[in-house]
Amino acid sequence: MKAASVEPCVKGNTLALLVEEARRALTCGSLSWSSLRTLSAPLQEVVAHCALPTEWYPVRYYADLADLLCTTSAVGREDYLRELGVTDFARLRSANTYRQLGYVTHVAPKRELQTKLHDSKLITSLMASIFNFSTWAPAPDPKSPEHVVIQVTDAKHIPEAFRVLTEGFQTALNRTINPSARAVRSERPSPDVIIFRSNGSRPARSTK
């Protein structure tokens, strides 16, 4: 499928995380074949044969597969999706798929606001390559000007599952830079806008 298609699409490398999770769930039995057959036939084919990393797929595939996977989780939907986001960060970082993820290892935890904005632009360029729609950009947080938020516009077709999963992904990324960083949380003030903020809880301290 061409990226120029008017249909909102997601890159195969992003869909691949959910496909791999579905195949694992089928193998271990937490996802039944009868449940898989509730998906569209084309999406069942993708699960059967894997997503091609550089191909484009209808974004509804991502939403439908994520919703199905959430029914297999023993934890809450949001916790499950955030954990998948952490898994996705580790997957992409170890694969050296995106140079931006290698860059974060060279970022200092304490930086001036303008440096943070510059660094964040490199990271948001990764997110901008995932869909054939939406604009991702860092900006000073109007609620806390010394901090940076990630604002997504033209976001109407971004699945809610991706929004929550990205909280986990960005938290893992931020904690690579600063292990004590707050968790990322997001809001959707309107259907077309998503804002990500590092205003969640800090990691629990080890009792050892």
List the domain range (segments joined by +) for residue 17: 9-72
Please report whether residue 171 resides in a domain. Answer: yes
Residue 105 lies inside a defined structural domain of this protein: no
Number of domains in the chain: 2
With vertex at residue 80, the alpha carbon angle to CA 197 and CA 86, rounded to the nearest 5 degrees, is 60
In a domain, 88, yes or no: no
Q: Would you mind telling me the total number of residues written for the chain in this entry? A: 208
- Are 68 and 115 in a shared domain? no
- CA–CA dist 66, 20 (Å, integer): 12
C-alpha pair distances (Å), 35 with each of 30, 50, 51: 10, 18, 19
pTM score: 0.87
pLDDT at 192 (0 to 100): 97
* Pair (123, 185) in one structural domain: yes
Is 98 within a domain? Answer: no
Q: Judge whether 104 lies within some domain.
A: no
Mean pLDDT by 10 residues, the chain (208 residues): 68 96 96 96 97 96 98 94 95 78 64 62 81 91 83 96 96 88 94 94 71
What is the model's pLDDT at position 107?
64
Decide which of 23, 46, 72 is a domain's last residue. Answer: 72
Q: Tell whether 57 and 126 lie within a shared domain.
A: no
125 and 192: one domain? yes
Q: Does 94 map to a domain?
A: no
Tell me, what's the pLDDT at 208?
Answer: 44
Residue 3 lies in a domain: no
114 and 192 inside one domain? yes
